[in-house]
Structure 1
């Protein structure tokens, strides 16, 4: 589902102006069937204002220290069937890397979905139900309106329902003694 993004900025005299009003399409990596990642805004450095409202530079899915990301994430139901792909495994990895640079380097190969990031994440469940599981197996079920402050912990997301779940995310880069940049 496309998401409407309205962006403000400043004109040459410093007056507030609308810079853009557009639909942003989700990124759908073949390697993560049914998942959608709508990258709405981000930057690798702290912004300075006034500015013209242009998209700041950003290079990877997770931000560096001082950087930030604003996005939406759709998690398919646990019962979702993967769609057949004509891509080879290597091509599917390249597709994911192109659409979500650096994300795969955080995912654990021997424990699907489990990952630890060097970020603080603020998450709001908008639709559906999700389960957040931590590394010791502890779980919490989250419903629309519930929020999470994720402090660089090892975790995974799961959708136990039969409809997609959607979350809004704001992610800030942080220092983490146990995570090496991918």
Structure 2
């Protein structure tokens, strides 16, 4: 799948288009790069997308398109995240991930066995917890994901 990527900025108090081109999928299965900054966003920012995949460090923000085919579990990490070898597909990242499901359906499974059915138009925010994705539907699931790199501070909440 390819898509059109348009990025605007402001320069000299006027809006300016800095990118308007067709983008092809990266080699990482199901990942379409849209926009990114690897540090706290500053303006203007053209969001150039290098041909690397992964997750941003603290303060970084990446926007990607994500695709999961029918009958698949999201267990193909391609070096992007560390998967749990004992429970295929389960992973966690040091990020806050905002998923907006555009098409199809997904099941978000948490490591405590809870499953959340998601349909086109639904939004879920994953806050660095262990989870995995299933596409149990009949159509390809497509989501827009904003990934915000975060610092992990595991501590007891009172």
TM-score range, shorter chain: 0.7 to 0.9
What is residue 7 of structure 2 aligned with on the other side? 7
Q: TM-score, structure 2 length as denominator?
A: 0.85
Gaps of 5+ in 2: none
- The answer (yes or no) to whether the contact 1:3–1:25 under 8 Å persists in 2 is yes
- The answer (yes or no) to whether the contact 1:44–1:56 under 8 Å persists in 2 is no
Write 1 or 2 for the structure with the bigger share of helix. Answer: 1
Write 1 or 2 for the structure with the bigger share of strand. Answer: 2
Tell me the number of residue pairs that the alignment of Structure 1 and Structure 2 aligns. 152
Counterpart selection for 1:41 from 15, 35, 40? 35
> What is the root-mean-square deviation in Å for CA atoms of aligned residues?
2.5
Distance in 2 between residues matched to 1:37 and 1:115, nearest whole Å: 17
**Could you give the per-residue CA deviations for residues 151-180 of structure 1, whole angstroms, max 9, x where no partner exists?**
1110000000122111110010112235xx
Shift of 1:110: 2.2
**Could you give the per-residue CA deviations for residues 68-100 of structure 1, whole angstroms, max 9, x where no partner exists?**
1100100011169xxxxxxxxxxx99xx34xxx
Runs of at least 4 residues off by over 6 Å: none
- The answer (yes or no) to whether the contact 2:34–2:49 under 8 Å persists in 1 is no
- The answer (yes or no) to whether the contact 1:44–1:59 under 8 Å persists in 2 is no
Shift of 1:38: 0.3
Shift of 1:9: 2.1
What is residue 119 of structure 1 aligned with on the other side? 95
Matched, 1:149 2:125: yes
Q: TM-score, structure 1 length as denominator?
A: 0.74
